[in-house]
Structure 1
């Protein structure tokens, strides 16, 4: 069943949650409405790909650890295959400078702008949260280091705790979890051990595959807000190191919008470009492993955490910072690379209108952008 969703779930994380609700709650009745809402809230709270984490959580609640793994594999594998095939096409035909690739870069601009609009209205609607978002964007743009995003999120959480610690706590309902708290603590400990231990091993050994695993594991560990927000983190990990060129990075990101399943499988494309099939496997496992460890580790404690106004206050600040990080990604590397002439901006506006007001499916917008890029190539 998860494989069916992996093959047909276009439209990004919000759409994925709708597919899950329709299939697992409404049709199959594997979870009730309250439990599903609690699970979605948990996965929004954790860093990583929210829709994938919800799928993993449904599998865990339904059939334990193996159920979580199978649910993740079915939902993710079709997108991984499509991403790797596109990477091999890029290598085999040297098409990085083609007009349609330029169009895909412009598609990425429109899609991220659309994401910012929706997230900003929901996560930064007032003066305090908008200010946090703008400050986060400025820091992300002016201080481009590997740990900048992590520090932004920490500071935003502290600000949120200070500003919103007295906010009312939403009513919660308990999830029925069979995972033991001891095993959950072990998963959380492994998550932290890998997060801080891999950079040390990377520096001391210089082994390429460890460096690759570290880069993608850290990206999956420190990203709040889902697939679009992982863009600046991944770009700073793979482009300066020379694993992937800037042009190939943005071309793949544009193409990823036309692929069903989680956007985090963009890592599979990057891994395939940098290290072939082995690189794709390492990148895929590394970027999703934090999501699995965090869901397993947090589920047994979620009923307690959700009742804390301090936790929810910190989350308000973190969510606002996510909007700012996404604004920074819209400018660099997306805008600075894709929008090079007035005609590029005109195409980006057209694609944005198709997404926001015409509400066309993303795959149609992607194809329109690719065609527009070809036309621009002939004009120029």
Structure 2
């Protein structure tokens, strides 16, 4: 199991939706471990819970195939390559960031293009009605107007309540499983992460060294929508207090676009910047912990839960709000730092064209941007693109 997911962790480029395609090809088509119906049901389950959806899917596949050892092997294999690379990049930034100054504009503009693409894709999926478009816009406004670590939390609960008021018809689904934990263990896996979420802010007051774990754990436990959506949480938690420089944060996020494996390995980069190799381990463990616990703990109860219209309505509102989270992250900090003049705006337009129309990879875009930034600085010394 480990070696299968290690290969996927080294080759699965393209973000969460692309990862799902790689998983289907490997486990449904090639190995025939599961049916398409089972696989589609599990995708729906992963998207219904907060956390990193593609990592949750891999963890669930490992659990269904090999129990807890299979789940752990799947997680380690899929996460290890990108986590090690991101940690190495953090050490490189810490030691050589002055030499990387010409790379930063290239990274920022790629990040802007990728997040714009993700925002548009999620908006088409989750904002098909006028009230959900308004929900997304309102969520973005609130996040920008009140940049606090508590704003996303309050918004999530408010959106769940809004969903009950704007209740829409939903279709019930069923879930096909090969393996589930017993109910006692399942309840523990559901309740313990919630309890930790509540207790950690108080524990940090007594033990400040838990602050990094608290910040990354809260981000992983509250984010719906995968890697791109975690950006505003991490920016509020780590950049605003001054724990991570904004240039380092944005450059690392852009690097994460180019790597295979889960985008949540961005947390490894942030942990390395703040506390070295120990921080890398803590941050990686913290951001994945709640989501992976919930994906297994919910299994015995999911069938009863998913048929309830109130659950579906709340989830629909949260998904629309997540689009607003992406819009807020796109505006601040990404676009505010990426677009500083007409040349940088033109380069972003070129990146969007290549990304959307011609499906050019983020790695190629970074190389192209680096060449263009270097040429621009050579032809017009003093010209700043970012």
Bucket of the pairwise TM-score, normalised by the shorter protein: over 0.9
Which residue, out of 87, 97, 102, partners 1:99?
102
Question: 1:146, 1:233 within 8 Å by CA — same for their partners in 2?
Answer: yes
**Residue in 2 that maps onto 1:203:** 205
2:178 alignment counterpart: 176
Maintained 8 Å contact 1:64/1:179:
no
Deviation at 1:284, TM superposition (A): 0.4
Match of 1:14 among 11, 14, 17: 17
Name the CA distance, whole Å, in 2 between partners of 1:377 and 1:151: 45
- The equivalent of 1:235 in structure 2 is 235
Does structure 1 residue 291 correspond to structure 2 residue 287? no
SS in 1 for 2:298: helix
Map residues 1-380 of structure 1 onto 2, 5 A cutoff.
1-95=4-98, 98-165=101-168, 167-206=169-208, 208=209, 210-378=210-378, 379=380, 380=383
TM normalised by structure 1 equals: 0.96
What's the offset of the Cα at 1:140?
0.7
1:95 touches 1:101 (CA, 8 Å); kept in 2?
A: no
| Counterpart-to-counterpart distance in 2, 1:98 and 1:54 | 37
1:371 Cα offset (Å): 3.0
C-alpha contact 1:57 1:295 (8 A) present in aligned 2: yes
| Aligned residue-pair number | 377
Q: Matched residues in 2 for 1:120 and 1:96: separation?
A: 38
CA contact (8 A) 1:228 1:326 kept: yes
Q: Distance in 2 between matches of 1:319 and 1:85?
A: 34
Q: Distance in 2 between matches of 1:304 and 1:4?
A: 36
Normalized against structure 2, the TM-score is what?
A: 0.95
> 1:186 & 1:133 partners in 2: Cα distance?
33
Looking at structure 1, the residues matched to 370 and 197 of structure 2 have their Cα atoms a distance apart, in angstroms, of: 38
Does the 8 Å contact 2:46/2:56 carry over to 1? yes
Q: Tell me the SS of whatever aligns to 1:257.
A: helix
Report the CA distance between 1:290 and its aligned residue: 1.1
Q: Distance in 2 between matches of 1:369 and 1:303?
A: 48
Asked whether the equivalents of residues 110 and 362 of structure 2 are also in contact (C-alpha less than 8 Å), the reply is no
Q: From the superposition, tell whether residues 213 and 351 of structure 1 become closer, same or farther in structure 2 (CA, over 3 Å).
A: same
Unmatched 5+ residue regions in structure 2? none
Q: After superposition, give the CA deviation of every residue in 1:187-231 in whole Å (9 maximum; x if it has no partner).
A: 11210121011111101222x2x1110010001011111101100
Report the secondary structure of 1:261's partner residue. coil
Distance 1:286 1:21, change over 3 A: same
1:363, distance to aligned residue in structure 2 (A): 2.2
Partners of 2:42 and 2:175 within 8 A in 1: no
On the 8 A contact 2:180/2:299 being kept in 1, the answer is: no
Q: 1:292: Cα distance to partner?
A: 1.3
Stretches of structure 1 lacking an aligned partner (at least 5 in a row): none
Report the Cα distance in structure 1 between the residues aligned to 2:66 and 2:156, rounded to whole angstroms. 34
Give the 3-state SS of the residue equivalent to 1:132 in structure 2: helix
In the alignment, is the contact (CA less than 8 A) between 1:272 and 1:280 conserved in 2? yes
What is the alpha-carbon distance in structure 2 between the residues aligned to residue 364 and residue 218 of structure 1? 33
Q: Deviations over 1:126-167 (max 9, x none)?
A: 1011011011111111011101111112111222222125x1
1:97: how far off?
A: 5.8
The range that moved more, 259-268 or 187-196, is: 187-196
| In 1, Cα distance between equivalents of 2:99 and 2:150 | 30
Distance in 1 between the 2:153 and 2:294 partners? 16
Structure 1 consecutive aligned stretches of length 4 or more whose deviation exceeds 4 Å: none
Kept in 1: contact 2:219–2:287 (CA 8 A): yes
Query: Following TM superposition, by how much is the alpha carbon of 1:174 offset from its aligned partner in structure 2, in angstroms?
Result: 3.0
